[in-house]
Amino acid sequence: MELNRRTVIAGAAAAGIAASTLGGTAEASTGSTSGAGTSGGASGGKAPSRKLFGTLADGTKVYLWSLANGGTKLKVLSYGGIVHSLETPDRKGHYANISAGFYNLEDYVAKSPYFGALIGRYGNRIGKGQFTLDGKKYQLSVNDGANSLHGGAKGFDKHAWSVEPFVKGTDVGLRLSYTSADGEMGYPGTLRTKVTYTLTKHGDWVIDYEATTDKATVVNLTSHVYWNLAGEGSGTIENHELTIAAGRYTPTDSGLIPTGELARVAGTPFDFRKPKPIGRDIRAGHDQLILAKGFDHNWVLDKGITAKPVHVATLRDPKTGRTLKIATDQPGLQFYSGNFLDGTLTGTDGHVYRQGDALCLETQHFPDSPNQPKFPSTTLRPGQTYRTRTVHSFSAR
Protein backbone atom coordinates (compact mmCIF):
# COMPACT_ATOMS: atom_id res chain seq x y z
CA MET A 1 0.00 0.00 0.00
CA GLU A 2 1.25 3.45 -0.86
CA LEU A 3 1.23 5.47 2.34
CA ASN A 4 0.94 9.20 2.77
CA ARG A 5 -0.04 10.03 -0.66
CA ARG A 6 -0.70 9.17 1.63
CA THR A 7 -3.27 7.26 3.58
CA VAL A 8 -5.33 7.60 0.46
CA ILE A 9 -6.20 4.07 -0.46
CA ALA A 10 -9.71 3.73 0.83
CA GLY A 11 -10.94 0.15 0.75
CA ALA A 12 -13.98 -0.89 -1.15
CA ALA A 13 -16.13 -0.72 1.97
CA ALA A 14 -14.99 2.82 2.76
CA ALA A 15 -15.77 3.91 -0.77
CA GLY A 16 -19.08 2.08 -0.70
CA ILE A 17 -18.16 0.15 -3.82
CA ALA A 18 -16.34 -2.93 -4.96
CA ALA A 19 -15.46 -4.41 -8.29
CA SER A 20 -15.31 -7.67 -10.11
CA THR A 21 -11.88 -8.89 -11.11
CA LEU A 22 -12.48 -8.27 -14.77
CA GLY A 23 -9.51 -6.96 -16.69
CA GLY A 24 -11.54 -6.13 -19.78
CA THR A 25 -14.23 -8.51 -20.93
CA ALA A 26 -16.24 -8.71 -24.08
CA GLU A 27 -19.26 -6.47 -24.81
CA ALA A 28 -17.43 -4.30 -27.31
CA SER A 29 -19.28 -1.41 -28.88
CA THR A 30 -18.42 1.53 -31.06
CA GLY A 31 -18.89 5.15 -30.08
CA SER A 32 -22.08 6.63 -31.45
CA THR A 33 -20.43 9.63 -33.09
CA SER A 34 -20.72 9.50 -36.87
CA GLY A 35 -18.35 10.75 -39.54
CA ALA A 36 -15.29 8.77 -38.47
CA GLY A 37 -12.51 8.36 -40.95
CA THR A 38 -9.21 6.54 -40.79
CA SER A 39 -6.98 7.10 -37.80
CA GLY A 40 -4.98 10.29 -38.15
CA GLY A 41 -6.41 11.04 -41.59
CA ALA A 42 -7.63 14.41 -42.81
CA SER A 43 -11.23 13.45 -42.07
CA GLY A 44 -10.40 12.68 -38.45
CA GLY A 45 -9.51 9.62 -36.42
CA LYS A 46 -11.73 6.62 -35.84
CA ALA A 47 -14.57 7.01 -33.37
CA PRO A 48 -13.57 5.80 -29.89
CA SER A 49 -14.71 2.28 -29.02
CA ARG A 50 -15.53 0.71 -25.69
CA LYS A 51 -15.67 -2.65 -23.95
CA LEU A 52 -16.82 -3.74 -20.53
CA PHE A 53 -14.00 -3.54 -17.97
CA GLY A 54 -15.84 -4.51 -14.80
CA THR A 55 -18.83 -3.90 -12.56
CA LEU A 56 -19.01 -1.91 -9.32
CA ALA A 57 -20.74 -3.28 -6.20
CA ASP A 58 -23.83 -1.19 -6.90
CA GLY A 59 -24.17 -2.75 -10.36
CA THR A 60 -22.71 0.16 -12.32
CA LYS A 61 -20.89 -1.06 -15.40
CA VAL A 62 -17.43 0.38 -15.99
CA TYR A 63 -16.22 0.67 -19.58
CA LEU A 64 -12.77 0.88 -21.07
CA TRP A 65 -12.71 3.43 -23.89
CA SER A 66 -10.02 3.22 -26.58
CA LEU A 67 -8.98 6.01 -28.92
CA ALA A 68 -5.99 6.73 -31.13
CA ASN A 69 -4.81 9.64 -33.24
CA GLY A 70 -1.56 11.12 -34.49
CA GLY A 71 0.53 8.24 -33.16
CA THR A 72 -0.83 8.34 -29.59
CA LYS A 73 -3.01 5.55 -28.19
CA LEU A 74 -5.15 6.26 -25.14
CA LYS A 75 -7.38 4.02 -23.01
CA VAL A 76 -9.69 5.56 -20.41
CA LEU A 77 -12.04 4.11 -17.79
CA SER A 78 -15.48 5.55 -17.13
CA TYR A 79 -14.64 5.02 -13.45
CA GLY A 80 -12.72 8.07 -12.23
CA GLY A 81 -11.91 9.19 -15.77
CA ILE A 82 -8.82 7.04 -15.24
CA VAL A 83 -6.12 6.88 -17.91
CA HIS A 84 -5.63 3.11 -17.95
CA SER A 85 -2.84 3.33 -20.52
CA LEU A 86 -1.21 5.82 -22.86
CA GLU A 87 1.09 4.49 -25.57
CA THR A 88 3.62 6.42 -27.62
CA PRO A 89 6.58 5.33 -29.80
CA ASP A 90 10.25 5.68 -28.87
CA ARG A 91 12.93 7.00 -31.25
CA LYS A 92 12.93 3.62 -33.05
CA GLY A 93 9.16 3.59 -33.44
CA HIS A 94 8.57 0.97 -30.73
CA TYR A 95 5.39 1.56 -28.72
CA ALA A 96 5.09 1.27 -24.95
CA ASN A 97 2.53 2.20 -22.33
CA ILE A 98 4.08 5.11 -20.40
CA SER A 99 1.48 5.44 -17.60
CA ALA A 100 1.21 3.36 -14.43
CA GLY A 101 -2.00 1.53 -13.62
CA PHE A 102 -3.67 -1.75 -12.74
CA TYR A 103 -4.85 -4.71 -14.79
CA ASN A 104 -8.30 -4.92 -13.22
CA LEU A 105 -11.03 -2.73 -11.78
CA GLU A 106 -10.87 -4.32 -8.35
CA ASP A 107 -7.40 -2.90 -7.74
CA TYR A 108 -8.39 0.57 -8.96
CA VAL A 109 -11.26 0.57 -6.45
CA ALA A 110 -9.46 -0.89 -3.44
CA LYS A 111 -5.79 0.06 -3.80
CA SER A 112 -5.16 2.91 -6.18
CA PRO A 113 -2.92 5.86 -5.24
CA TYR A 114 -4.88 7.87 -7.86
CA PHE A 115 -3.27 6.10 -10.84
CA GLY A 116 -4.33 8.07 -13.95
CA ALA A 117 -7.38 9.60 -12.27
CA LEU A 118 -9.33 12.82 -12.60
CA ILE A 119 -9.01 14.69 -9.31
CA GLY A 120 -11.63 16.87 -7.65
CA ARG A 121 -13.20 18.75 -6.13
CA TYR A 122 -9.87 19.98 -4.93
CA GLY A 123 -6.59 18.63 -6.26
CA ASN A 124 -3.86 18.39 -3.66
CA ARG A 125 -4.18 19.13 0.06
CA ILE A 126 -6.32 21.37 2.23
CA GLY A 127 -4.92 21.79 5.74
CA LYS A 128 -6.98 20.15 8.51
CA GLY A 129 -9.70 19.61 5.92
CA GLN A 130 -11.11 23.03 6.74
CA PHE A 131 -11.64 26.38 5.08
CA THR A 132 -13.79 29.46 5.58
CA LEU A 133 -15.69 31.04 2.70
CA ASP A 134 -17.90 34.12 3.00
CA GLY A 135 -17.71 33.85 6.78
CA LYS A 136 -18.83 30.22 6.96
CA LYS A 137 -16.50 27.42 8.05
CA TYR A 138 -16.59 24.15 6.15
CA GLN A 139 -15.30 20.78 7.37
CA LEU A 140 -14.19 18.44 4.59
CA SER A 141 -13.56 14.73 4.49
CA VAL A 142 -10.15 14.07 6.07
CA ASN A 143 -8.17 11.26 4.42
CA ASP A 144 -4.48 12.23 4.69
CA GLY A 145 -3.57 12.34 8.34
CA ALA A 146 -5.23 15.52 9.62
CA ASN A 147 -5.70 16.89 6.10
CA SER A 148 -7.97 16.47 3.10
CA LEU A 149 -6.29 15.19 -0.06
CA HIS A 150 -7.65 15.17 -3.62
CA GLY A 151 -11.27 15.79 -2.66
CA GLY A 152 -11.50 13.50 0.37
CA ALA A 153 -12.20 9.82 0.97
CA LYS A 154 -14.46 9.58 -2.07
CA GLY A 155 -13.31 12.23 -4.49
CA PHE A 156 -14.00 12.46 -8.20
CA ASP A 157 -11.56 9.61 -8.83
CA LYS A 158 -13.93 7.18 -7.07
CA HIS A 159 -17.09 7.87 -9.07
CA ALA A 160 -18.41 6.62 -12.38
CA TRP A 161 -18.49 9.36 -15.01
CA SER A 162 -20.82 9.66 -17.98
CA VAL A 163 -18.83 9.39 -21.21
CA GLU A 164 -19.71 10.65 -24.68
CA PRO A 165 -17.31 9.88 -27.55
CA PHE A 166 -16.78 12.33 -30.40
CA VAL A 167 -14.98 12.94 -33.67
CA LYS A 168 -14.56 16.58 -34.61
CA GLY A 169 -12.59 17.35 -37.75
CA THR A 170 -9.19 15.75 -37.25
CA ASP A 171 -9.67 15.39 -33.48
CA VAL A 172 -11.09 12.44 -31.55
CA GLY A 173 -12.02 12.36 -27.93
CA LEU A 174 -14.26 11.75 -24.94
CA ARG A 175 -16.53 14.13 -23.04
CA LEU A 176 -16.81 13.07 -19.42
CA SER A 177 -19.33 14.53 -16.99
CA TYR A 178 -20.10 14.19 -13.29
CA THR A 179 -22.36 16.17 -10.95
CA SER A 180 -21.20 16.49 -7.36
CA ALA A 181 -24.06 17.10 -4.94
CA ASP A 182 -24.12 19.98 -2.46
CA GLY A 183 -22.30 18.81 0.66
CA GLU A 184 -20.44 15.92 -0.98
CA MET A 185 -17.22 15.37 0.99
CA GLY A 186 -18.16 18.57 2.86
CA TYR A 187 -17.94 20.93 -0.12
CA PRO A 188 -20.70 23.52 -0.63
CA GLY A 189 -22.71 23.80 -3.82
CA THR A 190 -23.86 21.42 -6.53
CA LEU A 191 -20.90 21.29 -8.89
CA ARG A 192 -21.52 20.26 -12.50
CA THR A 193 -18.24 19.15 -14.01
CA LYS A 194 -17.30 18.40 -17.61
CA VAL A 195 -13.88 17.18 -18.67
CA THR A 196 -12.92 16.64 -22.30
CA TYR A 197 -10.07 14.38 -23.38
CA THR A 198 -8.96 15.14 -26.94
CA LEU A 199 -6.34 13.46 -29.11
CA THR A 200 -5.27 15.77 -31.94
CA LYS A 201 -3.95 14.83 -35.37
CA HIS A 202 -0.47 15.57 -33.99
CA GLY A 203 -0.92 13.07 -31.16
CA ASP A 204 -1.29 15.72 -28.44
CA TRP A 205 -3.47 14.81 -25.47
CA VAL A 206 -5.51 17.85 -24.43
CA ILE A 207 -7.55 18.05 -21.23
CA ASP A 208 -10.26 20.73 -20.95
CA TYR A 209 -11.87 21.15 -17.54
CA GLU A 210 -15.16 23.01 -16.98
CA ALA A 211 -17.36 23.42 -13.91
CA THR A 212 -20.26 25.50 -12.63
CA THR A 213 -21.83 25.78 -9.18
CA ASP A 214 -25.05 26.98 -7.56
CA LYS A 215 -23.27 28.09 -4.34
CA ALA A 216 -19.91 29.66 -3.68
CA THR A 217 -17.33 26.87 -3.43
CA VAL A 218 -13.68 26.06 -4.11
CA VAL A 219 -12.48 24.09 -7.13
CA ASN A 220 -9.10 22.81 -8.26
CA LEU A 221 -9.27 20.03 -10.87
CA THR A 222 -6.28 18.12 -12.20
CA SER A 223 -5.11 14.82 -13.70
CA HIS A 224 -3.01 12.33 -11.75
CA VAL A 225 -1.21 10.27 -14.40
CA TYR A 226 1.93 8.51 -13.17
CA TRP A 227 4.52 8.76 -15.96
CA ASN A 228 7.46 6.53 -16.86
CA LEU A 229 8.64 7.39 -20.36
CA ALA A 230 10.80 4.28 -20.52
CA GLY A 231 7.62 2.22 -20.19
CA GLU A 232 5.27 1.21 -17.40
CA GLY A 233 6.97 -1.11 -14.93
CA SER A 234 10.43 -0.58 -16.44
CA GLY A 235 12.06 0.68 -13.24
CA THR A 236 13.23 4.00 -11.86
CA ILE A 237 12.50 7.43 -13.31
CA GLU A 238 15.57 8.94 -11.66
CA ASN A 239 17.40 9.08 -15.02
CA HIS A 240 14.57 11.06 -16.60
CA GLU A 241 15.54 14.66 -17.30
CA LEU A 242 13.07 17.27 -16.07
CA THR A 243 12.72 20.98 -16.78
CA ILE A 244 10.23 23.24 -14.95
CA ALA A 245 9.88 26.93 -15.80
CA ALA A 246 9.65 28.07 -12.19
CA GLY A 247 11.96 30.18 -10.05
CA ARG A 248 9.99 29.52 -6.86
CA TYR A 249 8.18 26.70 -5.08
CA THR A 250 5.97 26.36 -2.00
CA PRO A 251 7.75 24.71 0.97
CA THR A 252 5.57 22.61 3.27
CA ASP A 253 5.25 21.58 6.89
CA SER A 254 5.52 17.96 8.03
CA GLY A 255 1.97 17.31 6.79
CA LEU A 256 2.93 18.57 3.30
CA ILE A 257 0.76 21.67 3.72
CA PRO A 258 2.35 24.86 2.31
CA THR A 259 3.78 27.24 4.88
CA GLY A 260 2.76 30.22 2.73
CA GLU A 261 6.32 31.01 1.66
CA LEU A 262 7.21 31.31 -2.02
CA ALA A 263 10.80 30.14 -1.75
CA ARG A 264 13.43 30.58 -4.44
CA VAL A 265 14.68 27.41 -6.13
CA ALA A 266 18.13 28.87 -6.88
CA GLY A 267 20.86 26.98 -5.05
CA THR A 268 18.50 24.19 -3.95
CA PRO A 269 17.58 20.71 -5.24
CA PHE A 270 14.31 22.28 -6.42
CA ASP A 271 15.98 24.13 -9.29
CA PHE A 272 14.80 22.51 -12.51
CA ARG A 273 15.04 25.63 -14.66
CA LYS A 274 17.55 23.76 -16.83
CA PRO A 275 17.22 20.06 -17.75
CA LYS A 276 18.38 17.91 -14.84
CA PRO A 277 18.19 14.19 -14.04
CA ILE A 278 15.60 13.70 -11.32
CA GLY A 279 17.96 11.52 -9.32
CA ARG A 280 20.79 14.05 -9.23
CA ASP A 281 19.65 15.85 -6.07
CA ILE A 282 16.83 13.66 -4.76
CA ARG A 283 19.00 12.30 -1.95
CA ALA A 284 20.42 15.65 -0.93
CA GLY A 285 19.98 16.41 2.76
CA HIS A 286 17.50 19.22 2.16
CA ASP A 287 14.87 19.39 4.90
CA GLN A 288 12.03 19.58 2.38
CA LEU A 289 13.18 16.40 0.63
CA ILE A 290 13.41 14.65 3.99
CA LEU A 291 9.85 15.65 4.93
CA ALA A 292 8.36 14.43 1.65
CA LYS A 293 10.76 11.49 1.14
CA GLY A 294 11.61 13.04 -2.21
CA PHE A 295 9.90 15.62 -4.38
CA ASP A 296 6.22 16.22 -3.61
CA HIS A 297 5.89 19.98 -3.98
CA ASN A 298 4.14 22.69 -5.91
CA TRP A 299 6.26 24.80 -8.25
CA VAL A 300 5.17 28.42 -8.73
CA LEU A 301 5.26 28.79 -12.49
CA ASP A 302 7.00 31.92 -13.73
CA LYS A 303 4.22 32.68 -16.21
CA GLY A 304 1.47 32.82 -13.56
CA ILE A 305 -2.15 32.44 -14.68
CA THR A 306 -2.47 32.84 -18.45
CA ALA A 307 -5.38 33.08 -20.88
CA LYS A 308 -4.00 30.18 -22.93
CA PRO A 309 -1.72 27.23 -22.15
CA VAL A 310 1.99 28.03 -22.06
CA HIS A 311 4.77 25.44 -22.14
CA VAL A 312 5.99 24.99 -18.55
CA ALA A 313 7.64 21.56 -18.25
CA THR A 314 9.59 19.04 -20.29
CA LEU A 315 10.25 15.44 -19.26
CA ARG A 316 12.65 13.28 -21.30
CA ASP A 317 13.92 9.73 -21.04
CA PRO A 318 17.42 9.65 -22.59
CA LYS A 319 17.27 5.88 -23.10
CA THR A 320 14.21 5.79 -25.36
CA GLY A 321 14.18 9.42 -26.48
CA ARG A 322 10.54 9.77 -25.45
CA THR A 323 9.76 13.35 -24.50
CA LEU A 324 6.69 14.84 -22.84
CA LYS A 325 6.03 18.58 -22.95
CA ILE A 326 3.30 20.09 -20.79
CA ALA A 327 1.53 23.39 -21.40
CA THR A 328 -1.05 24.88 -19.04
CA ASP A 329 -2.89 28.08 -18.15
CA GLN A 330 -2.62 27.24 -14.43
CA PRO A 331 -0.20 28.95 -12.01
CA GLY A 332 1.24 25.82 -10.39
CA LEU A 333 2.70 22.40 -11.13
CA GLN A 334 2.93 19.64 -8.53
CA PHE A 335 5.90 17.36 -9.15
CA TYR A 336 5.64 14.09 -7.22
CA SER A 337 8.50 11.59 -7.62
CA GLY A 338 6.60 8.45 -6.58
CA ASN A 339 8.05 8.52 -3.08
CA PHE A 340 5.45 6.29 -1.44
CA LEU A 341 5.34 3.49 -3.97
CA ASP A 342 6.59 0.70 -1.75
CA GLY A 343 6.52 -2.56 -3.69
CA THR A 344 3.02 -3.63 -2.61
CA LEU A 345 1.25 -2.60 -5.84
CA THR A 346 1.43 -4.72 -9.01
CA GLY A 347 0.98 -2.81 -12.25
CA THR A 348 -0.76 -3.36 -15.57
CA ASP A 349 1.75 -5.85 -16.98
CA GLY A 350 2.57 -7.64 -13.74
CA HIS A 351 5.52 -5.52 -12.57
CA VAL A 352 5.75 -4.39 -8.95
CA TYR A 353 6.00 -0.62 -8.44
CA ARG A 354 8.75 0.52 -6.09
CA GLN A 355 9.79 3.96 -4.91
CA GLY A 356 10.55 6.25 -7.83
CA ASP A 357 9.18 3.92 -10.52
CA ALA A 358 6.83 6.66 -11.83
CA LEU A 359 6.22 10.38 -11.36
CA CYS A 360 3.36 12.86 -11.54
CA LEU A 361 3.24 16.37 -13.04
CA GLU A 362 -0.10 17.85 -11.94
CA THR A 363 -1.12 21.22 -13.38
CA GLN A 364 -3.08 23.09 -10.72
CA HIS A 365 -3.69 26.02 -8.44
CA PHE A 366 -1.61 25.87 -5.27
CA PRO A 367 -2.30 23.43 -2.42
CA ASP A 368 -4.29 24.81 0.53
CA SER A 369 -5.17 27.97 -1.40
CA PRO A 370 -8.50 28.42 0.47
CA ASN A 371 -6.44 28.97 3.65
CA GLN A 372 -3.63 30.98 2.07
CA PRO A 373 -4.76 34.54 1.25
CA LYS A 374 -1.54 35.30 -0.66
CA PHE A 375 -2.12 32.38 -3.07
CA PRO A 376 -4.26 32.76 -6.22
CA SER A 377 -7.94 32.23 -5.39
CA THR A 378 -9.72 28.94 -6.12
CA THR A 379 -13.20 30.30 -5.31
CA LEU A 380 -15.97 29.66 -7.84
CA ARG A 381 -19.29 31.49 -7.56
CA PRO A 382 -22.70 31.05 -9.17
CA GLY A 383 -22.76 32.59 -12.64
CA GLN A 384 -19.05 31.91 -13.17
CA THR A 385 -17.58 29.04 -15.19
CA TYR A 386 -14.37 27.35 -14.13
CA ARG A 387 -12.29 26.62 -17.23
CA THR A 388 -8.74 25.41 -17.62
CA ARG A 389 -6.73 23.52 -20.23
CA THR A 390 -3.62 21.36 -20.13
CA VAL A 391 -1.81 20.07 -23.25
CA HIS A 392 0.50 17.04 -23.28
CA SER A 393 2.72 16.81 -26.38
CA PHE A 394 4.74 13.70 -27.16
CA SER A 395 7.82 13.16 -29.30
CA ALA A 396 10.93 10.98 -29.46
CA ARG A 397 14.45 12.03 -30.33
Q: Which residues are catalytic?
A: 224, 362
Instruction: Give the span between the Cα atoms of 88 and 97, in whole angstroms.
Output: 7
Burial of 266 (0-12, 13-18, 19+ CB in 10 A): exposed
Which residues, other chains included, contact 375 with Cβ-Cβ below 8 Å and sequence gap of 6+?
Answer: 258, 260, 365, 366, 368, 369
Instruction: Give the span between the Cα atoms of 350 and 1, in whole angstroms.
Output: 16
Q: Is 326 helix (H, G, I), strand (E, B) or coil?
A: strand
Q: Are 51 and 29 in contact (CB under 8 A)?
A: yes
- Whole-angstrom Cα Rg for the chain: 20
Residue 355: closest CA among 273, 247, 235, 263? 235
Residue 106: closest CA among 15, 224, 12, 8? 12
Instruction: Give the span between the Cα atoms of 366 and 388, in whole angstroms.
Output: 14
117-119/360-364 β-pairing: unpaired
Neighbours of 4 (CB within 10 A): 17
